[in-house]
Amino acid sequence: MFGALSGGSWKIHTANSPDAAAEILKSDEIKLLVADANMPVLDGIQFIGMMKRRYPALKMVMLTSDVTEEKRTAALEAGAELFIEKAQSPEGMKAVFTILGELLNWSPRDGFQGMLRSVSLLDVIQMECVGHNSSVIEICNEHVLGRIYIEEGQIIHAAGGELLGERALQKLLSLPGGSFELVPFEAPQQRTMNAPWTVLLAEATRKVETGSPRMDGAEVDAATLQPLVEAAQLVSETLICTGSGQPLYDDGCDQAQARMQWLMAVAQQAALLNQTCPLGNFDRLEIQFPNGRAVAQAREDRLVYVRVAPSLKGNRP
């Protein structure tokens, strides 16, 4: 399935035993090793440990249906970059494919490190939501300990330091570094967020980017949130890609590849305008249509396009 998802750009080698896998690694230039935890003769953790010593630069992933804290720790200590639970649905497989793609494109950089150390915290949240997963992301750095609760793809609660809800989410997303872990879902004591995850992340990202995450005052009330909830319901096209063009989320986008190239062209045009009249970093392009509007962002780490209709009673553009 990964071969199909990659559009044929990935060449997949499979092996039924550790020695067969070792032969493939010896004879072919492999970029990513995905090992099942359950293998004959020696288990996946031992196999990864052996291969890591032989091929220290090779990226390795442990795939298992039996997720335990002990196995995860052992796999990461053996040299695995990622420890991923086997997907049970096509959406889950796509999420795993996206994660593997990110790992292939990843090169070490400053920022969050942890179980999913190849991708950013925002990417992990998006992937959990897109995959309709339930999980808790535990985040910590020297100043803050936080948790983000995701239930069936919806962000339902966040706590960070003394903050709860959206402000906690914004604070956690604004951390310059730290570590995070995906742990099995457990219900929080309270639910502080009920807006769609796309709205929550867009708003949190916007506030982080504008440097105005609200760390004080009251929680956002329902009346404030309502327009955002309605806006999410009116979204007719959404495309979210990594900076390298790897799709993370696509809904209603008929020609994702063309849209992605368009976003890159927008970034080039903005750079030209900024050369003529320096106005700082390019933030976004907003397009006003007769029947709605669209917002496009094109940055090094992500490409985003969202188009919405004008109102609940209006026609979708």
Please report, for residues 130, 227, 263, 312, the alpha-carbon distance to residue 291 in angstroms, rounded to integers and kept in the order given: 28, 18, 21, 12
CB 203 to other proteins: min, Å = 16
Task: Give the Cα separation of 210 and 274 in Å (integer).
Answer: 19
Instruction: For residue 1, give the nearest of 73, 137, 68, 98 by alpha carbon.
Output: 98
254 binds other proteins (CB under 8 A): no
Q: Of residues 291, 301, 311, 314, which one binds other proteins by CB under 8 A?
A: 291
222 or 279: CB nearest other proteins? 279
Q: How far is CA 8 from the centre of its chain?
A: 23
Stretch that binds other proteins, among 62-70, 116-124, 157-165, 258-266 (CB under 8 A): 258-266
For other proteins, the closer CB: 108 or 290: 290
User: Which range of residues in 42-50, 53-61, 198-206, 268-276 is near other proteins by CB under 8 A?
Assistant: 268-276
Q: Are strands 145-151 and 154-160 parallel, antiparallel or unpaired?
A: antiparallel
How far apart are CB 311 and other proteins at their closest, in Å?
A: 16
Query: Residues 118, 2, 54, CA angle at the centre, nearest 5°?
Result: 55
* Range in contact with other proteins (rule: CB under 8 A) among 69-77, 78-86, 93-101, 286-294: 286-294
Say how many residues touch other proteins, by CB under 8 A: 24
Among 153-161, 173-181, 233-241, 270-278, which window interacts with other proteins (CB under 8 A)? 270-278
Strand partners, 160: 146, 163
DSSP 101-163: HHHHH----SSEEETTTTS-HHHHHHHHHHTT--EEEEEE-SS-EEEEEEETTEEEEEEETTE
Contacting range for other proteins; rule: CB under 8 A; set: 135-143, 148-156, 198-206, 269-277: 269-277
300 binds other proteins (CB under 8 A): no
The single residue listed with the structure tokens 């995450």 is 213
Taking the mean position of all CA atoms in its chain, how far away is CA 239? 13
164 and 192 in contact (C-beta within 8 Å)?
yes
Burial class of residue 90 in the structure, from the number of CB atoms within 10 Å of its CB (0-12 exposed, 13-18 middle, 19+ buried): exposed
Using the rule CB under 8 A, is 283 a contact of other proteins? yes
Q: Does 265 bind other proteins (CB under 8 A)?
A: yes
Of the pair 3, 252, the CB lying nearest other proteins is at: 252
* Smaller CB separation from other proteins, 68 or 291: 291
- CB of residue 312 to other proteins, shortest distance in Å: 20
CB neighbours (10 Å) of residue 273? 12
> If binding is defined by CB under 8 A, does position 274 make contact with other proteins?
yes
Eight-state DSSP code of residue 316? P
Residues from 153 through 192 that contact other proteins (CB under 8 A): none
Which residue's CB is nearer to other proteins, number 84 or number 306? 306
Q: Which element (helix H / strand E) includes 266?
A: helix 256-276
- The pair of structure tokens assigned to 174 is 């604004």
Considering only residues 17 to 36 of the shown chain, the ones binding other proteins according to CB under 8 A are: none
Residue ranges binding other proteins (CB under 8 A): 262, 265-266, 269-270, 272-274, 276-277, 279-291, 317
